[in-house]
Amino acid sequence: MDELELLKKDWKKDEDSKYPKLSYNEIYKMILKKSSSIVKWIFIISLLEFAFWTLISLAFKGTEYNKRFESYHADNIMIPLMVIAYAILIYFFYRFYMNYRTISATDNAKVLMENILKTRRTVKQYVGFNLIFMAISAFIALGIQFDRDQEMISLIENASANGEVFKFYAITIIITIVFLGILIAIILGFYYLIYGILLKRLNGNYKELKKLEV
């Protein structure tokens, strides 16, 4: 006999006595409990990501560095940057929320997986955007400092008196790049870990389904 037929024969036998019978009250208690689904975790982590980047920009305000920066009178550059950052935050959050709302356990398995991955991708793009934005801002800030920071200007003057102005610029820029690189690597590593653990199974199953379509 076909293996599966044999299995089916057993599967169908004594269905009513084989499984536990939960009572009305037991089921009632269950629906009061909280879900621990993967979607819920992605939602929580995504909210934390949005909060993290917003807090970072807020925490930056009022610091010593920020006060010094205000003395450069570079508002015409910094305010547009802030506006862009917030506009993009709102855009991403809107897209994230709309994606999140389309996730439904009543879709077929493949669509459900796609919708979850889409939600995740939006947040990933947001993080990517922030990293690029952070790098660009750092260089704009560096440019402003070269131009307007008294301490920096006197250092540049000293360096050019010694004929090492090129070396000075090069070292400053390289230090900035290395610093940014390390920061980005840490942040990316962190994401890789969290989502690697969280989405490993989903990604595997999704790939399996995709494989069938080829």
Partner 1 sequence: MNKELEHNFIEELEKNQNIVHKVCRIYTNNQEAHNDLFQEITIQLWKAYPKFRGDSKFSTWMYRVGLNTAITLYRKRKRSIKTEEFDAFQYKLSSEPYDDTEEEQLKLLYKAVHQLNDIEKALVFLYLEDKNYKEISETIGISEVNARVKMNRVKNKLRTILNP
First to last CA, the chain: 32
Contacts of the segment 131-138: beta carbons below 8 A, 24+ positions apart: 131/184, 131/187, 131/188, 133/84, 133/85, 133/88, 134/180, 134/183, 134/184, 135/180, 135/184, 137/81, 138/176, 138/180
CB of 121 to partner 1, least distance (A): 16
| Residue 192 tokens, joined | 């890789």
Q: Which is nearer to partner 1, 58 or 105 (CB)?
A: 105
Q: Which is nearer to partner 1, 118 or 148 (CB)?
A: 118
Polymer length of the chain: 214
CB of 189 to partner 1, least distance (A): 22
Q: Which is nearer to partner 1, 22 or 83 (CB)?
A: 22
CB of 53 to partner 1, least distance (A): 25
Q: At what angle do helices 109-148 and 150-161 cross, to 10 degrees?
A: 60
CB of 46 to partner 1, least distance (A): 16
Q: Which is nearer to partner 1, 38 or 140 (CB)?
A: 38
CB of 196 to partner 1, least distance (A): 14
Q: Which is nearer to partner 1, 12 or 61 (CB)?
A: 12
The residue ranges that bind partner 1 (CB under 8 A) are 2-4, 6-8, 10-24, 27-28, 30-31, 33-39, 41, 104-113, 116, 201-202, 204-205, 208-209, 212-213
CB of 5 to partner 1, least distance (A): 10
Alpha helices per DSSP H over the chain: 3-12, 15-18, 24-32, 38-60, 64-70, 75-102, 109-148, 150-161, 165-213
The span from the CA of 154 to the CA of 174, in Å, is: 20
Q: Which is nearer to partner 1, 32 or 161 (CB)?
A: 32
